[in-house]
Amino acid sequence: MIFAGDFAQLPPIQGENASLYGQKIGEKSSSKRSQEQAMGKSLWHQVTTVVILRENMCQKQQSPEDSKLVTSMMDGKASVSDDNFRNVSVITSWNIHKDEANSLGSVRFANETGQTLTDFYSDDSLCKVPKQPTDDDSNERWDRHKLIHLKEITDEFQHMFWNQPPSSTDLKIPGKLSLCVGMPIMIRHNSATELGITKGQEDIIYAWQSSQGARGQHVLDTLFVLLLNPSLPVQFNGLPLNVVLLVPTKTRVSVNLPGNKCTVITREQVEVLPNFAMTDYASQGKTHAFNVVDLHNCKSHQSMYTCLSRSASAEGTLILQGLSKGMRQSITKGASGAL
């Protein structure tokens, strides 16, 4: 077996302790999760040969567009409003910043293309959550101390759920999608990996079919998207090349309530987001000819490395803000001892 990885990039969302190099894995075996972590680390320790790649292949992708940007910089005319940086997804660390950038970017894109955004709402319903976690719930994503069990989703709660940003749910599934044709989006669910319909795939909206939801709201039945740079061409009967269809999924999610509380509901929605911004986690594995990064709130040197290493060239990199004081200290204090 041959596999690749980059420990200089971000650890799992649960933090360093959940990573292969975590120092606390194996200390306890009282839960199913801790046992699975220990088995995973033991498999990792059976690796016999490690090859460290020193040459950054991303930097070999310089294109005529890069050269054009360099020329504009020499003339003193390069700015974030240049065509090269239009509709480029900004890499940031905080989900709430990503949500706001996506909201503003959607409005701007619709105005610039002479369109009107169409709102598509989720179908939300109550779901049962055991009062006590079971073995299968060892990886549950919500805090039971904050969990409230609703008897019904009133109109007041429903409108609050719809108007919350995607990051207010644990799985970042939006209650409301505001879309128009040609808008850049990102798929947030692995629907068909063999067809390139994978989480993190970047696309543009081609068309949609819609209907009426359980509360009379406008909902998506099918969203047609054009895959950008798929690994293999995809052809569906009756559709243009690389145009695929996405349908709503039913997923159990935790949504925020006032007073630092939450509740768990079943949300039916197409799992996509506008792609005017993405988090450092979502950017991993990507290469951008023109890379716009906001480093101000990077949490670690790994986060900063991940953001900047998405660039195909230094000339195609635009840094929006300087580093925060905490980030400057993080850079100079060295890597984690576990690394």
Q: Rounded to an integer, what distance in angstroms lies between the CA atom of residue 228 and that of residue 84?
A: 17
Summarize pLDDT for 162-191 with one digit per residue, the tens.
999 999 999 999 999 999 999 999 999 999
**Angle, alpha carbons 118-102-230 (nearest 5°):** 90
The pLDDT of residue 71? 43
pLDDT per residue over 239-259, tens digit each? 999 999 999 999 999 999 888
Position with higher pLDDT, 129 vs 277: 277
CA distance 256 to 317: 36
Asked if residue 12 has pLDDT above 70, the reply is yes
Most confident region among 34-48, 94-108, 313-327 by mean pLDDT = 94-108
pLDDT of residue 338: 63
pTM metric for this prediction: 0.79
Lowest average pLDDT, out of 11-20, 201-210, 283-292, goes to 11-20
Q: Where are the domains of the chain?
A: 1-54, 114-132+141-271
Spatial contact of 291 and 91, defined as CB atoms under 8 Å apart: yes
pLDDT at res. 198:
94
Enumerate residues 6+ apart whose C-beta is below 8 A from 62: 312, 313, 315
- Could you tell me the pLDDT band of residue 322, with boundaries at 50, 70 and 90? confident
Percentage of the chain beyond pLDDT 70 is 81
- Which are the contacts of 189, defined by CB distance < 8 A and separation ≥ 6? 199, 249, 271
CA distance 92 to 168: 17
User: What are the tokens at 221?
Assistant: 């039945």
Instruction: Reply yes or no on whether the pLDDT at 89 is more than 70.
Output: yes
Mean of all residue pLDDT scores within the chain: 84
Distance between alpha carbon 216 and the CA centroid of its chain, in Å?
30
Amino acid identity for residue 90 in this structure:
V
Cβ contact 174:273 at 8 Å: yes
Can you give 44-88 as a three-state secondary structure string?
HCCCCCCCCCCCCHHHHCCCHHHHHHHHHHHCCCCCCCCHHHCCC
Give me the pLDDT at residue 70, please.
43
- Alpha-carbon distance 294 to 197, whole Å? 28
**What confidence tens digit (pLDDT) does each residue in 56-83 have?**
665 565 555 544 544 444 344 456 567 7
* Predicted pLDDT of residue 42: 84
Asked if pLDDT for residue 36 goes beyond 90, the answer is no
Q: Residue 169 carries which DSSP code? A: B
Does residue 324 have a pLDDT over 90? no
Residue 200: closest CA among 174, 177, 220, 228: 228
The two structure tokens encoding residue 212: 């009426």
Range of 78-82, 267-271, 305-309 with top mean pLDDT: 267-271
Q: Are 274 and 183 in contact (CB under 8 A)?
A: yes
